[in-house]
Copies of this chain bind each other. A is one copy, B any other.
Amino acid sequence: MTVVRDAAKAALKAQRIETPSWGYGNSGTRFKVFAQPGVPRTPWEKLDDASKVHEFTGVAPEVSLHIPWDRVDDYAALAAYAKERGLELGAINSNTFQDDDYRLGSVCHPDPKVRRKAVDHLLDCVDIMDATGSKDLKLWFADGTNYPGQDDIAARQDRLAESLAEVYARLGDDQRILLEYKLFEPAFYATDVPDWGTSYAHCLRLGPKARVVVDTGHHAPGTNIEFIVAFLLREGRLGGFDFNSRFYADDDLMVGSADPFQLFRIMHEVAKNGGLRTETNVAFMLDQCHNIEAKIPAVIRSVMNVQEATAKALLVDRDALTAAQAAGDVLAANAVLMDAYNTDVRPLLREVREEQGLNPDPVAAYAASGWQERIAAERVGGEQAGWGA
């Protein structure tokens, strides 16, 4: 077991979890956004907060941006600012859902003028990637319809395919499109990319630089997400994750908080099918809303939850598992998996952190750092960042 344990520690030290700039800002439900003291007012302040998460966890050096929420005049300066804080700018997330023109969709809109505007925004995002050095354009489309008959389902697919092709053609050699799918919300009848199959089919047509991104909160009840993960890895089309958790719909709770066993099963498929290897190029991103809990500590906790699930996945006794599976011993095979899951990996992770020169308890370390008090005192005036801000 020492060998497994050492390999696990090495992998845990190499892990990279990307945090989203918008996770540091205010968010809420359609009913209410509860503001919190100290919330960033600018992209620069979001990076300041992200740097704290990385400082205390050691595995969160990348930050996803959201355009236009993180629009700045000088993206190279933003990237340099990140670099000074030990960070890199990660995926660029497009936003084609918060302009009045997008009431009936963006790249699938019946009106070609609106589609043009949307595609131009996506092309702008690639320009920004050039400036920031970001490699991934993450596309989530709020497109869809609320009522049967409202628009033509197949025609919308044609428009989607055409729009994606134009953006794909603009990608640089080392840039990718990560195409997200989502069952519903904000569209309530038919969403234009509702499931992994739709995203996968479009990626296939686009080419090798297009991959599927799995948001763990975007599935119908009962969907086996780890199956999708295993399938996409087998096909070489898993681009990354938007991690969060849910009890009901796209709740966007902290990853691992609703069903930690599911997160473990997902990480088990990732680990077993080569998804942790650098060359597989899977992006492990968070995409969450901290509506009622303190934001920076919630991101830290989320990063730790991914680490814990990963650690457990790395501790699975693969040889024993394979042997039990080959023997058709249902209970033994299940027991091998559960043995890893039931292990308390927190001591192991404390060790990992200490060996990296970190405080073994990131939550306590952050609390003791005074950062929260400082931002609450200093970030007064101006408009807090948030969804839509």
Contacts of A227 in B (CB 8 A): 153, 190-191, 194
Complex CA–CA separation, A335 to B257 (angstroms): 10
Whether A248 pairs with B343 at a CB distance below 8 angstroms is no
Partner of A184, one of B185, B247, B326: B247
Contacts of A260 in B (CB 8 A): 261, 341
Contacts of A73 in B (CB 8 A): none
Whether A292 pairs with B103 at a CB distance below 8 angstroms is yes
Complex CA–CA separation, A346 to B291 (angstroms): 36
Determine whether A371 belongs to the interface, using a CB cutoff of 8 Å to chain B: no
Determine whether A356 belongs to the interface, using a CB cutoff of 8 Å to chain B: no
Interface centre among A146, A152, A297 (most CB of B within 10 A): A146
Whether A308 pairs with B259 at a CB distance below 8 angstroms is no
A 96-122 to B, binary, CB cutoff 8 A, 1 in contact else 0:
011010111000001100000000000
Complex copy number for this chain: 4
- The interface stretch among A4-12, A25-33, A46-54 is A25-33
Whether A387 pairs with B150 at a CB distance below 8 angstroms is no
Closest Cβ neighbor of A237 among chain B residues: B201
Determine whether A278 belongs to the interface, using a CB cutoff of 8 Å to chain B: no
Whether B221 pairs with A34 at a CB distance below 8 angstroms is no
Partner of A201, one of B183, B231, B248, B251: B231
A 351-367 to B, binary, CB cutoff 8 A, 1 in contact else 0:
00000000000010000
Closest Cβ neighbor of A157 among chain B residues: B234
Determine whether A377 belongs to the interface, using a CB cutoff of 8 Å to chain B: no
Contacts of A153 in B (CB 8 A): 226-227, 230-231, 269
Complex CA–CA separation, A110 to B110 (angstroms): 50
Whether B184 pairs with A222 at a CB distance below 8 angstroms is yes
Determine whether A381 belongs to the interface, using a CB cutoff of 8 Å to chain B: no
Whether B149 pairs with A103 at a CB distance below 8 angstroms is no
Contacts of A370 in B (CB 8 A): none
Whether B183 pairs with A222 at a CB distance below 8 angstroms is yes
Which 5 pairs between the two chains have the least Cβ-Cβ distance?
A197-B197, A149-B337, A220-B220, A221-B221, A188-B251
A residues near B (Cβ < 8 Å) are 27-32, 34-35, 97-98, 100, 102-104, 110-111, 142, 146-155, 157-158, 183-186, 188-191, 194-198, 200-201, 204, 219-224, 226-228, 230-231, 233-235, 246-249, 251, 253-254, 257-262, 265, 269, 272-273, 291-294, 297-298, 301, 308, 321-322, 324-326, 328, 330-331, 333-338, 341-344, 346, 363, 387-388
- Can you list 11 A-B pairs, Cβ within 8 angstroms, ordered by A? A104-B292, A149-B334, A152-B325, A153-B269, A184-B249, A196-B197, A198-B231, A200-B201, A257-B334, A342-B344, A343-B344
